[in-house]
A and B are shown apart, each in its own frame.
Chain A
């Protein structure tokens, strides 16, 4: 095991522990300026670190690190490849946007206090960074619990009865999910004596026990990621959380669950599952796409539309299981990245709407006030990427997935992707129709004045949405990075 340059490990330590230590400092020190500024400075610093790490990885290829220098089977390993790097970048960019946005969301600082939001988010950020590079089963379990408890607290942070009910429902799903996952881990350890993913990959331990364990772990992760059909907690929880929290939950936390499913199926359990199981998982993904999109079309509140859209969009990522090809792998990475950016932009924009108008009913979007127009632009750009219209990152992701499906002869998945795109366009355009509509002349409701939106709240979602569009132009340029560290089952 060649030792990577020391700065690489230091960089990863910063990613894993930096936000956590910042959170502890924010909790201890009573200065509001520090609480606002420190996370933003940290975000910028971590993006620089990511830039360096990406450059290093282009030279050395995917990297396996170990905490304390104890490689498996002694201790906990980390593994960084293209997918992990993409998710780290997503976390860094969304994190920076959220950190800037919450400095101006007055409601947050006044009503919730520093304990209410910032330290929860900072610890969640550490946990997410760690989840995306985790390569040890029990470590993943502990990280899942940590991210769940912070996410649930973020849903409940406003303390209204609806929020607490949504958080409680989330808690029971997440708790059941963790327990199923831990049971699977215990079964794997009983059979192999190993917890490291790398060790499990090289061991020959096929058998019914491994499929049983995989099923239990997948069920657990599906509950946490709100995959169809165990998704019932997500729409209300993401709709009722503060919009900055919803952005984090939809763009990052839910994605971590699907990320782990893909990791497990294409890593240590590769070759253990029969073909039809892969097709079945993708069928569930397709069902999620259909169900989520149809429900999104029916909603009358903006945040519920966006929340159901999350249920739908996560289904696309499962298509990599039956379509084990390079193009599908790249497509999934691209889709995860652009969906994260677009979804975070949408939720932050929804938060802006609520800030300006006071609620998130779709009719309020047709107020016709020019201040809402900029926000509508953000939603339009993000919606374009979500629906997979060119030019956008979402388009490239879907394009590659469709091509992968056609190349491998499984043309029905191409229909699923295309159909999903149409349904997405349906609910996106429905929202935009409200945003562009003329206000009804005899609307009897007395209009509250539209508040002015601070720049710190407008630009983060705008830049995220522009990022999702910009990904549409960067496809060819990013391929060498995307090609780093394909899992073994992906045919070259």
Chain B
């Protein structure tokens, strides 16, 4: 059971590192990687919660949560990459610019 404390603390710090990636960097790929690290941190914590030592069997609920979370993570990442690639190809942007004027473009119904 000695793995519990170091890995749980690691999970907490990893979440903060991932958060830094999301809000401290401007490149979209780096922000997406930061989000993935945040997700991995939460999954690590959940796996830590599921361990019960050598004798007892593990708690299956957090493990099911992690498996679901991994698949959802890859789905969101794939979709996000599509948006990022599309943005890059159409406008050459690789960050979200804070536009100083309101969106003057047409609405989608036009």
- A-side residues, CB < 8 A to B, are 105, 107, 138, 142, 145, 149, 152-153, 156-169, 171-172, 175-176, 179, 182-183, 186, 189-190, 195, 235-236, 239-243, 245, 299-301, 303-304, 350-351, 354-355, 358-360
Give CA–CA (A157, B82) in the complex, Å. Answer: 13
Task: Closest A residue to B50 by CB, please name it.
Answer: A189
Write out the residue numbers on chain A whose beta carbons fall within 8 Å of the beta carbon of B13: none
Docked-complex contact A172 and B31, CB < 8 angstroms: yes
Q: Which residue of B lies closest to A355 (CB)?
A: B109
**Cβ-defined contact, A168 with B83, below 8 A:** yes
Kindly list chain B residues whose C-beta atoms are within 8 Å of the C-beta of A235.
102
**B68/A142 in contact, CB under 8 A:** yes
**B110 CB to closest chain A CB, in angstroms?**
6
Are B109 and A186 within 8 A (Cβ)? no
A166 to B91, CA, bound (A): 13
Residue count of chain B within 8 Å CB distance of chain A: 40
Q: B107 to A179, Cβ gap below 8 A? A: no
Given A149-B76, A175-B35, A239-B103, check contact A168 B42 (CB 8 Å): no
A-B contact pairs, 26 of them (CB 8 A): A152-B79, A153-B79, A157-B108, A160-B105, A165-B87, A165-B96, A175-B76, A179-B38, A179-B39, A179-B42, A182-B69, A186-B45, A186-B62, A189-B46, A239-B103, A239-B107, A240-B108, A242-B107, A242-B109, A300-B102, A301-B102, A303-B107, A304-B102, A351-B109, A354-B107, A354-B109
- Minimum C-beta distance from A45 to chain B (A): 29
Q: Name the B residues within 8 Å of A105 (CB-CB).
A: 109
Contact yes or no, B109 A243, CB < 8 A: yes
> Given the complex of chains A and B, what is the CA–CA distance between A167 and B76 in angstroms?
13
In the assembled complex, the Cα of A145 lies from the Cα of B19 at a distance in Å of 18
Task: Determine if B72 and A142 form an interchain contact, defined as CB atoms under 8 angstroms apart.
Answer: yes
Q: Does B84 contact A (CB under 8 A)?
A: yes
Name the distance in Å between A293's Cβ and chain B's nearest Cβ: 16
CA distance A394 to B71 in the complex (A): 42
- A176: chain B residues within 8 A (beta carbon): 19, 22-23, 35, 38
**Given A149-B75, A156-B83, A182-B69, 14 more contacts at CB 8 Å?**
A138-B65, A138-B68, A142-B68, A158-B108, A162-B105, A164-B86, A165-B91, A168-B28, A176-B23, A240-B105, A241-B108, A242-B108, A301-B107, A350-B107
Determine the distance from Cα of A175 to Cα of B21 in the docked complex, in whole angstroms.
13
| Residue contact B86 to A183, C-beta cutoff 8 Å | no
B63 CB to nearest A CB, Å: 12
Per-residue contact bits, chain B 54-92, to A (CB 8 Å; 1 contact, 0 not): 000000011001001100100110011001101100110
